[in-house]
Amino acid sequence: MKKDISLYLDSKNVLFLKAATKKEALSELIDALARSSGIADKNELEEGIWQREKLMSTGIGLGIAVPHVRIKSVKDPVLAVGLSSEGIKDYESLDNNPVRIIIMIAAGEKQHAMYISLLSAVTSVLKEASVRDKILASASPEEIYSTLTGS
Amino acid sequence: MNILCGINLISPETNLNLMLLVGICILAGTVGARIFQRLKIPQVVGYIVIGLIIGEAGLKVISAKTIEVLRPFTYFALGIIGFIIGGELKTDLFRRFGKQFFAMVIGEGLGAFLIVTPLTALFMWLATHNFALSIAISIVIGAISSATDPASTIQVLWEYKTRGLLTTAVMAIVALDDALALTLYAFATNIADLFIGKTSISISHSVFQFSYELLGAAALGIIFGYILKKSFRYLNEHDKMLPFSIGLILVTIGLSSVLDLDIILSSMFFGITTVNLIPKRSEETFELVKKFAPPIYVLFFVFVGARLQLSHLSFMIIIIAVIYLIGRSFGKIIGAYVGAKFSGASDNVKKYSGLCLFTQGGVAVGLSIMASRKFSPEIADIIITVVTTTTLVVQLVGPSFVKYAVKKAGEIGLNLTEEELIATYKVKDVMDVTPPVIRTNAVLGDILKTFSKSDYFAYPVIDSENMLAGFITFQEVKHVLTTTGLDALLLAHDIMNPIRDITTPETPLKEALEQMKQTNTNFICAVENAQSRKLAGFLDSNKVNMKLAEELISRRKKAEGII
């Protein structure tokens, strides 16, 4: 599982979020992904992410959210991870708790199988309480990166 | 030196290269047919009208002399038509309907003869007060009126893909009534000779003459049928089978011409023998010949129109022509009805057969030319002009009556192949207008429910405004099922495929199927129109195939229910 994440997560895309709202938080992550090499069209990513959030929030409870999208302008799947120290209260999570860990996934339009297994890997890893605790207690992005990738 | 100089490639009248002329006739005929098809008039009328325009009666681009030079093409067309009609006449058809066919041929032929002859005689007697001349002319004209033109009648049946009892009966009647016309003609010329006091060839001689023509044609056709059968084992490839069959047809035509036999009858017997000796294996041969034939038919009918001359019309001839047309039409309708009733034919056959028998062509014109050689110029002129004029009228009007009759009898479109059936449909005719759909915000459980309720392989995904957003196949669902923990995270939106191909309800089905083939998918979504993304229906190739098969079977059953 962690190996899957290590393949697609760039340590530069792990950040401590300054955002207090869902909108700001997602923007920070989108900016991070746009800076990384795989994404050619930032607008498409932004529209895709928000279109998906409108259908149903990706806050899945336990302080976790996994916004995700498949779009044309992505070549290989990419991940971005954000940690909020305060918690994002307006994220609309399944358990109504503030969201603290956000992992954004963007994949290419035709990378269906890879996309599903990456989503599955991310949720399985985050379901372990020890992993979540370790991330929340991290002092640097590098620490979060190594927790998630097992490196 | 031009090696072709010995061959007459130049039209005697117009100096146009003959091949150029043939090409122009075929092209112009095809254009004419398309125009008439648009007007919902049988294509054969279009060919003839084009012939009229460019022929003797019109622009004179093509003259009678040129047509005479190109006569072999006409024979070729008649031979092919005869062969193909023969191919429709299997012996079990005669076993079942032989009596009916016979009764109807006698009925329609005698009907026309018995009505046209006395009416024409009466009018001519009133006009000329010459009893003998009146009888002589009218009995010959009456006999000629019994002939029907198989070519244009059959063309209409083919064009509208008809199948059923009426179609079968009409095919058999038009094919067989040449024989009756020849018999009546032989009888009539003898009577005519008696009245005008010409030293007649004895009746026994003329009985011998037409027996020779009929039996000779039958013998020739049967011999060639056997030859084709024997040669079949060496002809397992199309590129050998077609030229060999065409070659045999040409030899049949050539020999019939040399031996003074009826071309349609001998090639028809060739067809009958072939289809009955090797019914299964010859199917392909007939199909090939049918596909090869259209340019020759077009030329044939263009020539029919081009040959017609209308310059000799006098008042008396016009009246005789009108009497002929009315008398012949009623004679055919009443005669066919009586024959059908007497032989216990079905209602459609009784009611509509006569309407299919108005056309007249080669045999009638041929007999009128033969008659003109037999009689003095004054009689000859009347006979030829009446037959030519009425041929023009019935060739222009007759095909539409054939169409009307088969339409009324419900036999149009019952003989379609799958390909032809597809060509008649638009996407909207076969698409599922209320397909099971998946909403973009459906969760995995809902998606699975949709899959379980229906047997489609793929499902359209639509958004809250019913706009097409994508599609989901079992493939995507399979991926999701093999992973865990995603139930709360995945919506249809996440796993759907983007739409690549769409069609519209108004698109021809053939085009949509072609599109699916090219993209290697077995379904396609239809949106309201090219600008909209609103889902209008769903086309699944399996369902389309099932629908087409059902339709073909039901049409076949409908046709066979009355056969």
Residue A103 bridge partners (DSSP)? A81
Answer yes or no: is pLDDT of B563 > 70.
no
Residue numbers of B between 360 and 379 with CB closer than 8 Å to A: none
B413: helix, strand or coil: coil
The predicted structure's pLDDT at residue B351 = 87
Q: Is B222 on the interface with A (CB under 8 A)?
A: no
Q: Name which of B441, B484, B489 is nearest A66 (Cβ-Cβ).
A: B489
Chain A contact for B14 (CB, 8 A cutoff): no
Residue B81 to residues B181, B216, B254, B286, B290, Cα–Cα distance (Å): 18, 19, 15, 11, 9
Mean predicted lDDT score pLDDT of chain B = 83
Q: Does B484 touch chain A (CB under 8 A)?
A: yes
Nearest chain B residue (CA) to A67: B489
Q: Which two tokens stand for residue B132?
A: 């003998």
Question: Does A75 score more than 80 pLDDT?
Answer: yes
pLDDT at residue B11 in the model:
47
Q: HSE of B28 in the Cβ direction (CA atoms, 13 Å)?
A: 23
Cβ contact B491–A56 (<8 Å): yes
B197 — pLDDT class (breaks 50, 70, 90): low
How far is C-alpha B229 from the chain's CA centre? 26
Q: In angstroms, rounded to a whole number, what is the distance separating the alpha carbons of residues B550 and A149?
A: 59
- Sheet with B458-462: list strands edge to edge: B438-439, B458-462, B468-473
Q: What pLDDT shows up at residue B293?
A: 82
Q: Residue B206: which pLDDT band, with cuts at 50, 70 and 90?
A: low
**CATH domain B36-415 topology:** Na+/H+ antiporter like fold (1.20.1530)
- Give chain A positions within 8 Å (CB) of B489: 58, 60, 66, 68, 119, 123
Name the residue among B546, B518, B68, B99 with its Cα closest to residue B344: B99
* B-chain residues near A127 (CB < 8 A): 485
Residue B106 has pLDDT above 60, yes or no: yes
**Which residues of chain A neighbour B486 with C-beta distances below 8 Å?**
116, 119-120, 123
HSE at residue B157, side-chain half, CA atoms within 13 A, is: 27
Residue from the list A52, A113, A123 with its beta carbon closest to the beta carbon of B486: A123
Q: Tell me what the mean pLDDT of segment B5-28 comes to.
A: 67
Would you state the pLDDT for residue B551?
A: 83
Q: Is there a contact between B113 and B146 (Cβ–Cβ < 8 Å)?
A: yes
- Write out the residues of chain A at the interface with chain B, using a CB-CB cutoff of 8 A: 51-52, 55-56, 58, 60-61, 66, 68, 70, 72, 94, 109, 112-113, 116-117, 119-120, 123-124, 127
Mean pLDDT, residues B395-417: 86
**Chain A residue nearest residue B481, CA to CA:** A116
Among chain A residues, CA nearest to B493: A52
Chain B residues within an 8 Å CB radius of A124: 484-485
Q: Quick one: pLDDT band at residue B118, thresholds 50, 70, 90? A: very high
Torsion angles phi and psi, residue B101, rounded to 5: -60, -45
Can you tell me the distance from the alpha carbon of B477 to that of B495, in angstroms, rounded to the nearest whole number? 8
Q: Which of residues 15-54 of B touch A (CB under 8 A)?
A: none
B201 touches chain A (CB under 8 A): no
Total tally of structural domains belonging to chain A: 1
ipTM for the whole complex = 0.86
Apex B56 CA angle, B52 and B59, nearest 5: 75
- In angstroms, the separation between the Cα of residue B408 and the nearest Cα of chain A is 55
Cβ atoms of B165 and B96 within 8 Å: the answer is no
- Provide the pLDDT for residue B561: 62
Six token digits for residue A3: 């190996």
Supply the DSSP string of B521-559, one letter for each residue. -SEEEEESSTT--BEEEEEEHHHHHHHHHHHHHHHHHHH
In this complex, is the C-beta atom of B477 within 8 Å of any C-beta atom belonging to chain A? no
* Residue A1 confidence (pLDDT): 66
The mean per-residue pLDDT over the stretch B523-537 comes to 86
Closest residue on chain B to A61 (Cα) = B488
Structure tokens at A14: 């792990």
Residue contacts between A and B (CB atoms, under 8 Å): 50
Q: In this complex, do A58 and B489 lie within 8 Å of one another by their Cβ atoms?
A: yes
pLDDT band at B451 (very low <50, low <70, confident <90, very high): confident
B484/A119 touch (CB, cutoff 8 Å), yes or no? no
User: Which residues are A108's β-sheet partners?
Assistant: A71
Domain at A28, CATH number:
3.40.930.10
Nearest-CA distance from B498 to chain A in Å? 8
Lowest pLDDT segment from A63-67, B162-166, B298-302, B379-383? B379-383
pLDDT in tens, B306-365: 877 666 667 888 888 899 999 999 999 999 999 988 888 788 888 898 999 988 877 787
Q: In the predicted model, what is the mean pLDDT of residues B254-277? A: 88
Task: Report percent pLDDT > 90 for chain B.
Answer: 13
Report DSSP state, residue B354.
G
**Which of A36-45, A77-86, B146-155, B186-195 has maximum average pLDDT?**
A77-86
- Which two structure tokens, joined as six digits, stand for A106? 């963007």
Q: How far apart are the first and last CA of chain A?
A: 12
Report the gap between the CA of A121 and the closest CA in chain B (Å).
9
pLDDT band for B219, please (50, 70, 90 cuts). very high
d(CA B260, CA B245) in angstroms, rounded, equals: 22
**Element of type H or E holding B502:** strand B502-503
| Chain B residues within 8 A of A55 when measuring between CB atoms | 440-441, 491, 493
Looking at the complex, does the CB of residue B445 fall below 8 Å from at least one CB of chain A? no
Please answer yes or no on whether A116 and B497 come within 8 Å at the CB atom: no
Q: Which residue of A has its CA nearest to B483?
A: A120
CA of A124 vs chain B CAs: smallest distance (Å): 7
DSSP reduced 3-state for B142: helix
Q: What is the CATH number of domain B423-561?
A: 3.10.580.10
Q: Where are the domains of chain B?
A: 36-415, 423-561
Structure tokens at B438: 């998946």
Domain that holds residue A140: 2-149
Work out whether strand A59-61 and strand A64-65 pair parallel, antiparallel, or are unpaired. antiparallel
Supply the pLDDT for residue B199: 54
Rounded average pLDDT over B366-375: 72
H or E element in which residue B403 lies: helix B377-408
Let me know how long chain B is. 563
Q: Residue length, chain A? A: 151
Partner-chain contact B484 A112, CB within 8 Å: no
Q: Which of B475, B485, B494 sits opposite A124 (nearest CB)?
A: B485
From the list B379, B362, B371, the residue with the least C-alpha distance to B154 is B362
3-state SS class at B499: coil
By three-state DSSP, how is residue A85 classified?
Answer: strand
Distance from CA of A102 to the nearest CA of B (A): 13
Q: pLDDT, tens digit, for every residue of B495-525?
A: 888 887 888 888 999 888 888 888 888 888 8
